[in-house]
Structure 1
């Protein structure tokens, strides 16, 4: 002590240093930094593509074992990753679906021939060989504006396969007709595009005649005469009407665009399609469907059996269309029957339990459409009901027609029919034996 105090003591004012509340002595308080909010990444796709020297086969199975290259364009990868997360949150995707889609997206970006260019749909489809579903990948890329759909359409593949065995000149003429049907024509004679279904039907109905003429040595439709058309047409009935309708459309379009000198079927009568009479359903089949333990089948069948909705109306029904016990269908307001309300309640409860996070606004959804906002397909409606919606609708209209004593105006107002459509049902009215038994 003597040695320590040899030069004196430094005096201090007492109690100048205080420990902060909730903090031990000798420790410093950590300063909280404000959270760093980085702006959402943006990306503009390149407008060029790197040409390949020769097409090479990618062994994706080998990549699944040894790994895939990392994305060569980090900005594009960051943008799509952030967009995918937001898209998955907005559409109620599960964590598993989101993780699988992110993995597939990273693989697709690493395999690009031109990093930074929109992803090719064919490259995304090829990922299915290693167990990655391309549907969600295409959905995200399309929503982000980074999808180049280079796939050949199904109708184009069908057309090429269908006409592949016909002579070259006939194929050329059919290709011209096919293009005008699907895309329309801006030059006289102008025409609007027709649907793929209509184009398929007309070509399918005309195909037997085309094959017969090709087997007889005809190499161009310009060589066909009215006598050859009469020889190839069936005698009567729907087969004659269908082939005549298909050939009439084919020759009329080609003649109008000056690919033919004359229309060989112009003055040949082929008749009209025979109208099938609506028939009632068996009561047992309808009762089993309405009382089914499957909530989708019971709800769908009940709506059609009580209110006669079409399949297209069932597909597009939304959650906001039903309130206060009424169905608001366009300009029509339909008071829902109590059995329909009960089955709709069971379906909506099942829907909420099965897909609690879905953002699809439609009443009826499936395992596939629960992750997006698209309506279900017609095939899903038919499979779920175990019958076509049209059959159940016809049964309901026939029942109402017999109950009202043939009041056509009543069924027009109740089911949205035209007078011409309602008259089709009136032909069945005199046959009392066609009532549902």
Structure 2
């Protein structure tokens, strides 16, 4: 498909042609036509939304994914699971109240529960109302990790459905499925960190420095704004972090690169790339992982920093928690790996 030359550079103008009347809302699903012409869909949606002209009629990707995974199950189970996914993602303000969970959590729970759902359907069950504690026990795998994860997902599903009066009982109640064995954090090879810190790519060097020196998470990095930087201090979740000298060197280099590469961008986020520079959207976790390179992940780098601090403080969990904003249990996971020389 080719648009007239005058229209190819004005995706918003194209979308205004979809209005049934001046001022009418434009459905977000209609903007997908821009992709067929190679025009920026996200930018057009952002402009229309800022002007109050967009109605988002799209289903979240995780809902579409879950429906595909569950499509071979009986209609009643699909409806029950659809309810669970919707409330899990959006939460509920009225009793029984529930906090919204992330799409990653919803995906994981569906994947962990699916073998049990498939097992019950093969046994002739048509609805989750029919499931008994014996059915739950029969579906649980022997592997301790798989058993724990499935148990966690099934408890979430049945407790929610029972609270919504969609099932009569919670068949998981009283059934122990154990816990997931904790993994021992391991240090990252120093050469891998050094190579990333000295990378000629300013974004890679700064990402590595912020994690390796200050233990920032991938989510922190995604949502950092330029205004969070004040001289040599960075504000993260109401914490003011004095940046180490090597981090400031890389910050200066990256900011210079950013201003030269995208001088006209109005994106407020610290990290941007080719597509987000034309919008106000943050970078995604996939971009962060790819930029760091195959040898490193934010989690591995962060754990390496925590372990290093645990050694430096002789296993002081409180100091670790205060420095990085960790909970007590999380801090203890790293201090447990420290063994004083006297032992």
Distance 1:229 1:329 in 2: 43
> 1:239: how far off?
0.5
Structure 1, gaps ≥5 residues long: 1-60, 71-98, 433-437
Matched, 1:402 2:311: yes
- 1:109, 1:115 within 8 Å by CA — same for their partners in 2? no
Q: Provide the residue aligned with 2:166 in structure 1.
A: 259
Structure 2, gaps ≥5 residues long: none
Instruction: Spell out, residue by residue over 1:28-56, the C-alpha distance to the aligned partner (whole angstroms, 9 max, x if none).
Output: xxxxxxxxxxxxxxxxxxxxxxxxxxxxx
Which of 286, 293, 298 aligns to 1:389? It is 298
- 1:180, 1:193 within 8 Å by CA — same for their partners in 2? yes
> 1:350: how far off?
0.7
Q: Provide the residue aligned with 1:335 in structure 2.
A: 242
Aligned length: 338
> 1:428: how far off?
1.1
Normalised by the length of structure 1, the TM-score is 0.71
- 2:314, 2:340 within 8 Å by CA — same for their partners in 1? no
Matched, 1:247 2:154: yes
Q: Provide the residue aligned with 1:114 in structure 2.
A: 20
Instruction: Spell out, residue by residue over 1:120-147, the C-alpha distance to the aligned partner (whole angstroms, 9 max, x if none).
Output: 2222211221222222211111111111
Give 3-state SS (helix, strand or coil) of 1:374's partner. Answer: coil
Which of 135, 138, 145 aligns to 2:52? It is 145
Instruction: Spell out, residue by residue over 1:160-201, the C-alpha distance to the aligned partner (whole angstroms, 9 max, x if none).
Output: 212211112222322333343334446653434433333222
- 1:306, 1:396 within 8 Å by CA — same for their partners in 2? yes
> 1:211: how far off?
0.5
Structure number having the greater helix percentage = 2
- Evaluate the alpha carbon distance shift between residue 271 and residue 138 of structure 1 in structure 2; reply closer, same or farther with a 3 A threshold: same
- 2:43, 2:279 within 8 Å by CA — same for their partners in 1? no
> 1:259: how far off?
2.5
Distance 1:133 1:332 in 2: 36
Give 3-state SS (helix, strand or coil) of 1:213's partner. Answer: helix
- 2:19, 2:26 within 8 Å by CA — same for their partners in 1? no
Matched, 1:280 2:217: no
Q: Provide the residue aligned with 2:209 in structure 1.
A: 302
Q: Provide the residue aligned with 2:280 in structure 1.
A: 373
Give 3-state SS (helix, strand or coil) of 1:327's partner. Answer: strand
Give 3-state SS (helix, strand or coil) of 1:333's partner. Answer: strand
Matched, 1:417 2:326: yes
Summarize the alignment of residues 23-422 of structure 1 with structure 2, pairs less than 5 Å apart. 61=1, 64=3, 100-102=8-10, 104-110=11-17, 112=18, 114-116=20-22, 117-185=24-92, 188-386=95-293, 387-422=296-331
Distance 2:231 2:267 in 1: 21
Normalised by the length of structure 2, the TM-score is 0.89
- Evaluate the alpha carbon distance shift between residue 169 and residue 409 of structure 1 in structure 2; reply closer, same or farther with a 3 A threshold: closer
> 1:101: how far off?
4.2
> 1:430: how far off?
2.5
- Evaluate the alpha carbon distance shift between residue 390 and residue 258 of structure 1 in structure 2; reply closer, same or farther with a 3 A threshold: same
Instruction: Spell out, residue by residue over 1:348-395, the C-alpha distance to the aligned partner (whole angstroms, 9 max, x if none).
Output: 111111011222233222122222333222222222112222211111
Q: CA RMSD in A?
A: 2.5
> 1:283: how far off?
0.8
- Evaluate the alpha carbon distance shift between residue 106 and residue 334 of structure 1 in structure 2; reply closer, same or farther with a 3 A threshold: closer
> 1:236: how far off?
4.1
